[in-house]
Every structure is written in C-alpha cells, then in structure tokens.
Structure 1
C-alpha cells in the first residue's frame, strides 16, 4: 500500500471536489477516511463510521506515535484498520473522487454503482461492450448515495 505522503500527493489531483465551505478541509478528511474506508471499531468491536478518534489515530500513526500511551493505542487501532485494506489500491476518478479499490484496479476501468448494492464497483469494459467485475470499491464522497440522484441509469451486461 502506498504511504500517506503519496496519498496526500494523489489527493491534490482531486480538484475542487472536496472543497466545500461547510466541511472545512474536506480533502484532508478524504485522505484519512479513505485508507480505512471511513470505518472504525466501536467500543463493542463492531464497525462504525470513522470519527474524531480515527482522525486522531491517523494523525498519530502518520506522525509515528511510539510512546505507550492512549495516543499509541489510537495509532495502533488506525494501523489495524489499515491492515485490513493492505492489498487495496488507491485511485482518483475522472471526476476527482479519491477511492480505494481492488488490487487489480487499473487506469481506464470504470467505477459504477449497481442498483441494489451498498457500494460502488470497479468494472473493466470489454471490446464487445460487456463488463467484467474487478471488485468492490470505496469512493469518498459517494458512499451515502450522493452520486445517485440525477445519475444516468443504463443496463450493463456483466460477464
């Protein structure tokens, strides 16, 4: 998996998609949320949406927290979430969204939202117009249905 500095560099290619007055620096939020697919473990060990503690864990992990303190525990939790994504690949869509996809994701493939699913998928278009599933993806900024209203719906043939 690429390093945080490389991810921050890649995120500069997102254009203005993550620059909104109501979210402050949404690009920074995309940078720390994307590697962990915006998830954290809650106090019961179940998945929950990443929050302030995960952001602090990112800052500490990126900065190299080493002392055995609450801070190093936060960094360790962030690292455990990262390890679950270790074979994933970062990408930026043509529209500028930062994402995390399968290891076989490559330039020229498409990110699609299939009706009835809760996550986008990376698909590869074949010469005959059919599509091949590459794998599921996390795309920061469209995971809560933001891309669906007004989106063009088309039928795909998946082989």
Structure 2
C-alpha cells in the first residue's frame, strides 16, 4: 500500500500551488523508486516518465528529452508531446496515428496530453476527438481519478480547445 500512498502524496504536492516546481518533480521521482521494487509492473512500466511528462506539460514546461520506449504502454499518447518540442513533422505523424486511450483511470490524462500536443500542432480532427472524450469529465481533474497524476482541470483544457478558430 505504501506505493499508492507515496504516489498520492506526489499527486497532492503537484496540485499544491504553493509547492515549487522542483519539489513537485522531486516528489514524483521519489515515488518512482518504490515502484521498481514493488512487483507492480503495471505501475512501474511507463508511469514514472509519464508522470514527469504530465507535470511538465501541466506547468507549461518543455518535456524532458526522454527515451520514448521508457513510456511503455503510454508511448502512443505521450510521444506526440515529446516530439512536438522539436520534431513537429514526426509529432504530427504520431498524432494522426494515435488510437483512443483505453477507458481506464488514466483516460482523461492521456486525452489531455493529446490535446496539449494537438493545440501546438493544430490538428482539428484530433482536437475534436479530444474534446468529445473530455467533455463528459468537464468538472474533473484530468487523470486525478487514478490517484497518481493530474494535468489539471478538464474544463481549462476544453476552454483551450474551443478557443481554436474553425474547430
């Protein structure tokens, strides 16, 4: 159980506006350590780099250069954000090929990542998909249902999407 409470504490720190960004990042890095030895491959594979990427996106910071393979099962939804920082053509291609995220506790977080990448790349089809998927969760925090990560209020992401002209 300590793995989940450590991750939840990291999430709470990440949501606290009084906590400096470096401390938020450190909390997620610390949460990643017990996952490696807890025998929970579902949490260990891809979640630590996804959490750090989500934190950076949430705070409008460029994603860290990351080996895309470290993102494990989250690679299809996180890759466009990584690539959008410097390889826009590849990012746009990855975005066009991305499937809908699985309907699980991280669905809104993965849709939010896609929306953020799409807002910078300008793909109206993916923006419409993201809007349709996120709309039912308008009053929630993107990803917070997992107790692990959050990309902030879904309503803020929806507002950014609807502000795009000709959508």
Q: Normalising to structure 2: TM-score of the pair?
A: 0.29
Q: Per residue, is there more helix in 1 or in 2?
A: 2
Between Structure 1 and Structure 2, the one with more strand by share is 1
TM-score by length of 1: 0.29
Higher alpha-carbon Rg: 1
